[in-house]
Each structure stands twice: as structure tokens, then as C-alpha cells.
Chains A and B, each alone.
Chain A
Amino acid sequence: MAIAINLEYKPYVALYRRLSDGLRKAILEGRLQLGEPMPSVRELSESLKLSRATVLKAYEDLRTQGLVVSLSGSGTFVATTLPGDLGDLLQERFREPEPRLLSAPDLHLSERGRQLYDVGYGQLQSHVHVSELNYGGTPHELSPAKEWKALMLKHCAIDQEDKVAEMVAPMGLMSLRQALAQYVMRRRSISLPDGPESICVVGSKQLRLELIGRMLLNSGDVVAYEEPGYPENRNTLMAQGAVIAPIPVDEEGLSVKALRQLPTPPKLIYVTPSHQDPLAMVMSMPRRQELLEYSAAVGAFILEDDFDSEFRYGKPVLPALKALDHHDCVIYMSSFWKVLYQSLRLTYLIFPRCLTKPGQLAKAYLERHLPLIDQLALADLINDGHLEKHLKRCQRLLAHRRQSLILAITRYLRDYIEPFGEGGGTHLILNFKGGFSEDQIEAAAGRSGFVIYNTNSYYLGQAPEAQFIAPFGSVDPDTIDGIVKSFAVNLATGAH
């Protein structure tokens, strides 16, 4: 019996599952008829060049789903009635409804809905896919995945019926919040008068911005935002109707002088003081004081995004703005995405005391439950010191990789780029000179395998010509020299 099975390629799905999916599709589409025999295991394994074990496993899978039945001695058959009381409706599966995309006005979106749609659509269009270098993250070969797995497994054996009530706390598990309170004290000099009470665990990166913006802003309110600055956070605020005032940064960080010149003082000021994103400078101590004084005077809140304060090369770590916050106006946020990638999406916020109560209400509105096992495991990861050990190892490796990239750049690109300053984080900023267009640079980078991407999306206004981000988290010190050399050659020859 010949049957066309489409083994859709899906890197994340086991082969037998892809086969059983294909067979299920055939059954639901009626290509394999109800009650009729299934192709024999041997037939299928020969025609699809799969092992018999795989086919057997796929059949087993279909049996559990109730789609086929095995009769001893006579083989496997498609079930005569499909599972569920509504099996008769199954035939409609996979028949795509006619795409009925309506034009914008027919959608009848609300005004705020339109704003949400437009900003979100723009972001989807401009999304840069740079997974080759893991979006500029830390070296993934160092990821404490083994420890993480062990902790996850440990907590899968939860047997704490009495703790269930606490498990659903919208602000996060108390044991995790306690671990975080100690962690920020240790690492960032932040002391919390109300203890873990003001810490709020949030299930995803974007939701933190959503929470802060929704709590503080009405449509039309002014938000001061670093220019250049991280586009995704800016977009989430913009989609809420915030009017973004781009504030330039200089070598000491956000320009408070420019802030003072705003016609209306902002309600919220977004900064990345420990390592400006993307330009990488550290906000100086005097500038920190100045910013705090300014926001206390105008009654604005500061949103401090401490996204990778850990990685710094040669320069001292300054305390977080939140640690200097004597006017109760700093909202602090941080995450672990550079530690465990897709395995761990938990992030956290620290509210000023005056926002803790409304913050808790807004959190319970936007997100009531957090993943339980992840929270238990993360609390352990922090308390056991695994997290800090990991960061230390990363720091060492990153310094090495950064150095080899700088070396290669100084060797081959001296004449093509402006000198770059110090800075922390996981990437370098390259400002090209000599009149190369971005297209020329990108073409040369593509041909040589040099992974860089331009900073255009970081600018709300006009971006400087030919400014690029070069992540070094996954740079291989053995090959980077050759890559940069080839890039330089390509650039020189391609331009003419």
C-alpha cells in the first residue's frame, strides 16, 4: 500500500513523532480510511527508509491516541470510530479556513488597539535574527544547564501540599524573593527596607515594561528614553501611548542637561546605567547623583534596566542607581536570560516603596501565576552560589574573547573604524569611517562570516551612518583573526 507521508522536518521533534504526526494527518484527511488496515511495519519502514523500531514506536503513539487498533494476528487497523465523542467532526481538521485578512479599517480596532498593532507590527518587521551569536549573549557552552536540570528534577518531586497556597503568589515564591533580595544586596549594594516584599518576579521580559507603563502612564504622557536605546523596551512603552522623548547619551551616560531642557518633565526615565545599551559606557558617579536629584525634583520615576551589569572589563563596578535611591524614585529591573537562555524566562523588578502596593495589584491583574518548578530551582541556583560561579566563569571567558576580537580589529580594521572606548557587556560598537555604506559593510560581513548588525533600530531619530554592533560572546579566538582579515579584504575590494 503506497501512502504519501509527509515527514515534516522539525528539529525539535523526535523522528517517530514526526512519522505519527504524518500518519495522523493522513487518517484525519481520510487518506487512510476508518477501519481499513494500516500499512505494515515492514512496508512503511522500507518505503520511508526508517528503522522498524521507529515505525513501531509511531504506531504505539497512534494507539495511545486511539487512532489505530491492533488485532493480534491480523495487524493494525485505523480505528472505526475516532476518539472523543465528537470524532465525526475530525474530518474538518487541517482544512485551513479561507484566509480572510481584513484591511485595517474593517478590523474595528480601538484607538489604543491600533497603536498596539502599529508598534508591534513595526517591531516584527525590523526584528534582526542573529542566533548565530545567540543575540550577543554569554558563551552558551558555559551555561549551567546540568545544574539547572538537576534542580528542576529535584523540584519536580514537589510534595508540599501545605505550600500550595503560597505557590500561586502573583509576586513570586517567597523563598525566591528572599534569595533575590540577598543577591542584589551582595552584587548590587541594594538594600531593601521592606525586604523581599518590594521584589516582584515576572514571567517574561516584556511584561515588566508592560507592568510599569500600565501602572504609571496614560496615553500622551512623556517618557524620557536613552538615544540610542534598546528598541524593544521602548516599543512596549510606545504601544501604551507614551510619548517618547529621546535623550542623548555622552561618555558619562544619559545627558541630564538634555533632560532639563524638555518642555514637559517626563513621568518616567528609562536608563541602562551599568552598561549603556548599545553604546556600552558606564554612567559616572556624578551623573548618577545628578540624575537622581533631577528626578526627585520633578517627581519622575527612573526605570533602571540592569540587564548585564555583571560583565565589565578593567573598570570598577558602580552600585546600582537603586542602591543610591534616597528619594524612593527608582524602579529596578533585571533578568537571567543571559544565563540560561530559553530554559529560564523569569525576570524580576524591585519597586520603590511608594509603588509596591499598586505594583502588586497591577501584577496580580497582568500575571497571577508563575511557573512553580522554575521558581524553586532558581532560588536554589542563587542560594547555592551556582549562579555567581557561572557569572565568574563567563566573565573570564568573555574577557578573553573580547580581547581576541579587539586584537583582530586593531590589526586589520585600524583604517576603517573610529577608535572605540572602554565599556562592559557582551559586544563592541564599531563606527566605520571612510565613507562605506551600510550595504557595503553588510555585504562584506556576509561574505566573510563576520557577524555584526547595525544599530539603526536603537535610534528613534536619525542613526549615525555605519554604526555596528559586534557581539563577542560566541567569538572563537582561533578563527576570529582570519574572519576579520577576510572582512577587511572584502571591504576594501568590494567598495571599489
Chain B
Amino acid sequence: MQIDRLVFPEHFKTNVPVARQIAEVMKEGILQGLVSPGIILPSVRDLAVQLKVSRSTAARAIEELAAQGYVVAEMGSGTRVAPRLPGQLAGGPGLGQASIADKDAPLKEVELSRFAQRLVEREKLGAISATVKYTGPSLKEMPLSIWRDLIVRHCRAGAEDLISYSPEPFGFPPLREAYASYLIRARAVKVTKERLITFASRNLRLDLLSRLLLQEGDLVAMEEPGFAAAREQLLAAGCRLIPIPVDSQGLKVDQLDALQEPVKLVYVTPSHQSPTGAVMSMIRRRQLLDYAARTGAYIVEDDYDSEFRYDGRPLPSLQGMDTNDRTIYLSCLWNVLAPLTRLGFMVLPSALVEALNAAKNLVERDVSYVEQAAMADFINEGHLEKLIRRQRTLYAARRQALLEGLERGFDNQIWTAPESAGLDLLVRFKDDFPEVAKVDRAILESGIPMAGTGMFYQGEPRAHEYTIAFASLEEAEMASRLEKFIAALKG
């Protein structure tokens, strides 16, 4: 009997129905050809005896196989393995041949969309990757117990609001209200909840904007150097990017003005330029707003880590100064609350509200209710600002310690960005600094959270320029890694 070739387990698992386990073994045997098509199977009674299971279990196993088309029951003559098995396609490869089960079969050629082709190209160049490096704060500093309490509050069993709440494309209204008032308090953003949108995926913010406002080939101005992830998003959207240099006052708006053709959109990080750390001066801000008003360009202000300034008052947002309603403001809590929440926010000019509402409804309407409700309370009860205050004190000390360590180690061979803000420190070494390969080795050996700024440049990167992520490492740990780094450089 071919059925004897099948190996049934001695003891069946307890968490899966026994009938299913029997059926799976038989199916596997049929698929592998241990039992040939057309063969008559033992009767239910024999099968039950052989496997020491009840007849009804054996019958259920056979029924399941019959339902799935692996066996056919014929009146009077018993049950046979189906002559043509499910998955066996006429003219195609049969079972056990070049099927999906074949790991080594060459992948077939696929014609991807232009968008996906651009992604594949950028990946080949090493500019993007499907894996993400974690860059958020340290879990140790997360208010886990508060967050837990809020989850308890909103995760009630049988809560009716979970059922009757109809998701709005812009997000849970109480959260939008809470975040709007936070943005007004902390960043002087001009906002009401009607213009504030919650995103579960922060990447969708730029994606939806570029789809709504830009055709493939449209001109977009971007800071040079500038935030790499944003640049890659705009490139994938098919925009033509014009790099505009930044100096200590931020984006050089006169270079933007000098372009022959006005751009459709300008991407800036005015409160703490990524990666140089420059804060855009008042004069430049006015120039930029004036440019937008004159040309009809939109400004995207990415306020990604404005929470962290260690001296003096924060400058208000660019959006808050805009009297012409041309600025789209992006904000998120990743740097404060990762990985507990991934939510991102966008404040829109009122003219775009309706269009974005329609668009968001199509791509991301359902965002976890619990996460949004918990976040609303987290803000309203003052936890957010308390947390930020605590982090600010902590990070200021870490930054100071790093500066002192760098000064001791490199003396006057190093230039550090003067702006006291953000979570990374930009440093430049003098020309006689060791070559990249050696520095990279030292970084790897010492574990210092330091990286070259190459990816921030669309054009030629600047030599000997690095950022050091100081925020999530304790002072002593950073000091010891820095020491190792210096030793490795000399060795």
C-alpha cells in the first residue's frame, strides 16, 4: 500500500485539530508523489484503526482533502487520490516540478511601474534600502508605565466607541485637537483641528503632497545638503530636484530666486537644518515666504526635531509667519516617543484641505483607535511636554559632554556646528584627517554613533564631514566609545 509510505507523527499536536494534521500529512504525501494520482485510499475504518483515532476524525480528514480537491470519493469504489490535483495546471509545470515550491527557480521578469523602477534604480546605487536603521530615542527613557495606563484606558473590553467610531481620513478628532493646541503652544503654528491631519505612516505625507501637486518632471528645490529620506521620496515621485546650498543662516534664498524657472515646491528644515543644524534667519524666512507668495510655490516645512533646543527660546515656525497660506507644515513625535508611536502630522493651507481629505481617504483611512486615543490623553494630560522637558535636560548634558570630549581628543583639528539643538552634532575635521576607509573602520571598532554626511548631498559630498548622534547614549558610554574611536584612529 502506497499509504504506508506516509509518515504520521507518533503523537499528534494538541493545538491543531487531529483531522487537520492527518490531512496535512496525506496532502504532503500526495504533493510529493509518494502516493500517486488515481490510487485508492484505505477506507475510513482502516485509516482510523491504523492511526488510532476515532472514525469521525479519520472521516473529517478525508472530507477536508476531498473539499480541497486532493481526493475524490466515488460511489461504490471508495476514495481515490484525484487524477488531476489542485495546483496542477494544464500545460504548466506539474507538481513537484518548477513550482512555487522551488526555491531555486529563476525569478520571472516583471514589468514594474515607472515609480517602482526608480526605486529599484536608487537601491542599486545604494541610495535607499528596504531595511531601516533605528534612529529613535532609547527605550529606557520611554514613559512605558504612563503609556500602559493610557492603553488600559482605551482598550476596554466591549467598548462601544470602538464599534461605533467611524474612522475619519484626517484622524481621531480629539487627538487632532490636542496636537493642534500643542503646536500652537510650542511652535506658534497657525492651526485648527480642521487643517491638521494625522498620519499613521509619516512617509505618506510627502507622497500624497507630491502626487497632488506635482507632475513627473516638475521642479522642486531642496536644501543641499539636505534630509536624505525626503530627497529620495521626491525623486521616487519623479520630481526634478534642484539642490540649493545652505549656509549658517539656512537656505540661500537668493540662489533660489536666481533660477530661470520658478520651482513648484521648496523643501526646507528651518528650525534645525538637516544635517548642518543651521537655524534659518529671520531675513531668509521673509525672503522665502516672499518667494512663495510671488511665484505661487508651496513651501514644505519639515519641523522634524524642533523640540530639542538647548539654549534660548525656540524660533517660531515658518508656517506661523506665513500670511499667504503657502506653507505646509510637517511634524512628528518620532524623536520623542519612538518606538511607542509612529504617528506623523501635517498642517495644510486651507485651500488644500478638501483635496487632501479625499486623497487620504483612499490610501489611509484606518488608523488604530487605541493609539490615537492614548496619544490624545498623553498630550492633554501634560505628559508630552513633561517628557520633552526631561529629554531636553538629558540631551543637553550629553551634548555638552560630547563637545568637551571632542575638544580634548581633537583640540583644534575639529569644527563643531555652533547651533545648540537637535539630536545629532555636525562635525568637520581638518584636511589632514585620516582617509574615509580608516575612519569607517574606527567607527565600526569603537561603536561610536557617527556617520559621514555623504547621503545628505545630491551633488559632491563634503570631505571629512560627519554627524554624531549623541542623544540616545549615556555620557559614560559615549566617552568610552569616543576614547576607543580616537585610539583606533591613531593605531
Contact = CB atoms under 8 A, between A and B. Distances in A.
Nearest to B382: A64
Contact of A121 (B116, B313, B358): B358
B211 A116 contact: yes
B73 to A, nearest CB: 12
Nearest to A323: B87
A169 B203 CA distance: 14
B228 interface: no
Contacts of A20: 380
B130 interface: yes
Contacts of B90: 289, 293
Interface in B318-347: 320, 325, 334, 338-342
Contacts of A24: 181
A165 B90 CA distance: 46
A84 interface: yes
A371 B355 CA distance: 27
Interface stretch (B185-193, B269-277, B393-401, B427-435): B185-193
B113 A203 contact: no
Given A89-B316, A324-B86, A368-B202, A373 B133 contact: no
A248 to B, nearest CB: 24
B366 A113 contact: no
Nearest to B82: A285
A169 B131 CA distance: 6
B477 interface: no
Interface in B433-459: none
Interface in A325-365: 325-328, 337, 341-345, 352-355, 357-358, 360-365
Nearest to A293: B89
Contacts of B380: 17, 20, 61, 65
B77 interface: no
Nearest to B363: A210
Interface stretch (A39-47, A90-98, A405-413, A431-439): A90-98
A144 to B, nearest CB: 9
Given A293-B91, A296-B89, A345 B382 contact: no
B148 A345 contact: no
Q: For this complex, into which size category does the number of interface residues on chain B fall? A: 35 or more
A124 B132 contact: no
B158 A236 contact: no
A94 B180 CA distance: 10
Interface in B286-343: 296, 313-314, 316, 320, 325, 334, 338-342
Interface string A281-321: 00001001100110010000000000000000000111100
Contacts of A204: 200-201, 364-367
B212 A110 contact: yes
Interface in A117-169: 117-121, 123-124, 129, 131, 134, 140-141, 143, 145-146, 148-149, 152-153, 156-161, 164-165, 167-169
Interface string B19-35: 01000000100000000
Contacts of B132: 168-170, 364, 368-369
B174 interface: yes
B368 A371 contact: yes
Contacts of A362: 115-116, 119
A456 interface: no
B174 A124 contact: no
B211 A161 contact: no
Interface in B119-148: 119-120, 123, 128-134, 136, 138-140, 144, 147-148
B406 interface: no
A461 interface: no
B159 A156 contact: no
Interface in A362-410: 362-374, 385
Interface residues of A, number: 135
Contact of B363 (A99, A161, A207): A207
B155 A364 contact: no
Contacts of B325: 97, 100
Contacts of B211: 110, 112-113, 116
Interface stretch (B45-53, B96-104, B248-256, B460-468): B96-104
B486 to A, nearest CB: 26
Contact of A158 (B89, B139, B368): B139
A343 B186 contact: no
B128 to A, nearest CB: 7
A276 to B, nearest CB: 18
Interface stretch (A69-77, A101-109, A463-471, A488-496): A101-109
B344 to A, nearest CB: 10
A110 B236 contact: no
B69 interface: yes
Given A89-B320, A149-B156, A156-B151, A101 B187 contact: no
A99 B325 CA distance: 11
A263 interface: no
A12 interface: yes
A159 to B, nearest CB: 7
B369 interface: yes
A33 B65 CA distance: 77
B215 A343 contact: no
Interface stretch (A48-56, A215-223, A420-428, A447-455): A215-223
A54 to B, nearest CB: 16
Given A156-B151, A324-B87, A342-B368, A368 B203 contact: yes
Contact of B67 (A316, A366, A373): A316
A318 B355 CA distance: 42
A159 B370 CA distance: 21
A342 B67 contact: no
Interface stretch (A188-196, A253-261, A475-483): A188-196
B109 to A, nearest CB: 8
A83 interface: yes
B89 A289 contact: yes
Interface hub of B195, B204, B214, B355 (most chain A Cβ within 10 A): B355
Nearest to B162: A342
A317 B65 CA distance: 10
A123 B90 CA distance: 41
B414 interface: no
Given A124-B358, A289-B89, A364-B128, A167 B185 contact: no
B92 A293 contact: yes
Interface string A260-283: 000000010000000000000000
Contacts of A117: 212, 354-355, 358-359
A104 to B, nearest CB: 9
A361 B215 contact: no
B166 A131 contact: yes
A358 B116 contact: yes
Contact of A108 (B89, B186, B296): B296
Contact of B362 (A87, A99, A217, A235): A235
A214 B115 contact: yes
Given A131-B166, A371-B341, 11 more contacts: A85-B313, A110-B214, A112-B211, A140-B163, A145-B162, A156-B148, A216-B116, A343-B368, A345-B366, A352-B100, A371-B200
23 contacts: A12-B165, A12-B172, A64-B382, A66-B382, A86-B184, A89-B320, A96-B194, A109-B213, A116-B211, A156-B144, A156-B151, A168-B136, A203-B200, A210-B362, A216-B113, A218-B114, A318-B68, A324-B86, A328-B107, A354-B107, A358-B119, A367-B203, A374-B368
Interface of A: 10-13, 17, 20-21, 24, 61, 64-66, 82-87, 89-90, 92-94, 96-97, 99-102, 106-113, 116-121, 123-124, 129, 131, 134, 140-141, 143, 145-146, 148-149, 152-153, 156-161, 164-165, 167-171, 186, 189, 191, 193-194, 203-207, 210, 214-218, 232, 235-236, 239, 267, 285, 288-289, 292-293, 296, 316-319, 323-328, 337, 341-345, 352-355, 357-358, 360-374, 385
7 A-B pairs with least C-beta separation:
A316-B67, A120-B358, A113-B212, A64-B382, A360-B130, A342-B369, A367-B201
